[in-house]
Amino acid sequence: EQLVESGGGVVQSGTSLRLSCRTSDSAFYGYAFHWVRQAPGKGLVWLATISDDGDAKFYATAAKGRFRISRDDSTSTLSLQMSGLRPDDSGVYYCARGLAGDPPDPYTMWGQGTMVSVFS
Amino acid sequence: SYVLTQPPSVSVAPGQTATITCGGNNIVAKSVHWHQQKPGQAPVVVVYNDIDRPSGIPERFSGSNSGSAATLTISGVEAGDEADYYCQVWHGGADHEGVFGGGTKLTVL
């Protein structure tokens, strides 16, 4: 079992980007998922969480209104749609698997990360 | 929002015991998880729910949560334990947010 992120890249400020995180069906269905960002040389920062059934979504202040977390159980894919990107959104974006229920953690698995670089 | 506070760095000689603290308001009421991140790698959970260890994590790694702080203890430190360590909780209630501490760089002398 592993989580595989994709969709990162180098983009201009103000544009949009969609990150994806895929895993096997058995490792996806019934679990909550999280997105975590790490700016270069900095610590881990939580961005967003989606519940196991997709009904509950939670966002950090830095992500509210610009980022949207979603899941597609039919393809075992987690997504993060990011818009209005700024240079301080640059960093490695990790997806992480949590647990069903409340709280939606601990994180039981991390992806390898995908890099996003935003230039002005 | 909820804040977790960690010391920026801890240094220990090989074979000794490293202790990394994580402070937060009434943290004893939360489940604390610890993540290890080696340079250029993704994080890995080493302790979850205060005291539990995932399979494959050595018994040298242990956690506790009482009083005013949660603690990650690494006994018999090895050179390969050199990494950044992050504590993490889920803060529920009205906020519903994931929270990471600022991270502690463990240096093995």
CB atoms within 10 A of CB A66: 15
Q: Dump pLDDT digits (tens) for B25-58.
A: 999 999 999 999 999 999 999 999 999 999 999 9
> What's the longest Cα–Cα distance across chain A?
41
Alpha carbons B78 and B33: distance in angstroms, whole number: 21
Query: Are the beta carbons of B98 and A105 separated by less than 8 Å?
Result: yes
Alpha carbons B2 and B38: distance in angstroms, whole number: 26
For residues B24 and B1, the model is more confident at B24
Question: pLDDT value at position A102?
Answer: 83
Residue A103 has pLDDT above 90, yes or no: no
Average pLDDT of chain A is 95
Q: Dump pLDDT digits (tens) for B79-106.
A: 999 999 999 999 987 879 999 999 999 9
Query: Which chain B residues have any C-beta within 8 angstroms of a chain A C-beta?
Result: 1, 31, 33, 35, 37, 42-45, 48-49, 54, 84, 86, 88, 90, 92, 96-103
CB-nearest partner of A112 from B42, B54, B96: B42
